[in-house]
Amino acid sequence: MSQQGILVVISGFSGAGKGTLMKALLEKYENYALSVSATTRQPRPGEVDGREYFFVSRDYFKSMVENDALIEYAQYVDNFYGTPKDYVEKKRMEGKDVILEIEIQGALKIKKKFPDTLLLFVMPPSAKELKKRLVNRGTESLDVIDARLKRASEEAVGIEAYDYIVINDEIDTCVEELHRLIQAQHNKTSNRLDFINEMREELTQL
């Protein structure tokens, strides 16, 4: 019996390498769909509207909130970010596991709305490595990097709310670890109630 796709939230400090990991995971496995968020932040060089994000004005973002078009949204540093509802629902109905790459406030809202969501937190091997990756990325000014590191230390307080941490030292190993955790989540009893009930029913008829 085909199952509806599950929801997976992936968070991690800015610079932890989530973007690269998601790209590798989606290239390797077919059953995942990555949700594309709406944001009021400006595109970085190389980012394409509709691929990394839907880049929208503050007014448009506000109208999405008012029209209940977002499953969740949050402010991060100086911008708003939100998850469009339609895409997530459509892909789950198709049986795809939908991955939301969002920050901690959004993660907690999703878990509250959909308790069976798997919450994963990607960590760099060390704090020093995190700073190095942010500086090497070269897409943000030093002020923004500082704001993001400050935000990282705030978010570090909430990591216990996640189901698992995944340490991103080596990409391929980390991709396998993510895949394994997501597959295991499919067989959580709360995600298999239909199957379990069917079995119970059949057992009574033997």
Interface positions with ligand 5GP (CB under 6 A): 14, 37, 41, 72-74, 76, 81-83, 101-103, 105-106
Distance in Å from the first CA to the final CA of the chain: 21
Q: Which is nearer to ligand 5GP, 30 or 66 (CB)?
A: 66
Which residue type is seen at 190? S
Q: How far is the CB of 118 from ligand 5GP (least distance, A)?
A: 16
Q: How far is the CB of 46 from ligand 5GP (least distance, A)?
A: 12
Q: How far is the CB of 4 from ligand 5GP (least distance, A)?
A: 21
Distance CA 47, CA 153 (A): 27
- List, in sequence order, every beta strand (DSSP E) within the chain: 7-12, 32-34, 37-39, 53-55, 70-76, 79-84, 97-101, 118-123, 164-167
Q: Are 18 and 101 in contact (CB under 8 A)?
A: yes
Q: Which is nearer to ligand 5GP, 16 or 175 (CB)?
A: 16
Q: Which is nearer to ligand 5GP, 23 or 188 (CB)?
A: 23
Q: Which is nearer to ligand 5GP, 6 or 107 (CB)?
A: 107
Instruction: Concatenate the DSSP letters of all residues of 150-178 into one string.
Output: HHHHHHHTTGGGSSEEEE-SSHHHHHHHH
Q: How far is the CB of 31 from ligand 5GP (least distance, A)?
A: 21
Q: How far is the CB of 203 from ligand 5GP (least distance, A)?
A: 43
Q: Which is nearer to ligand 5GP, 5 or 82 (CB)?
A: 82
Q: Are 179 and 10 in contact (CB under 8 A)?
A: no
Shortest Cβ contact with ligand 5GP: which residue? 106
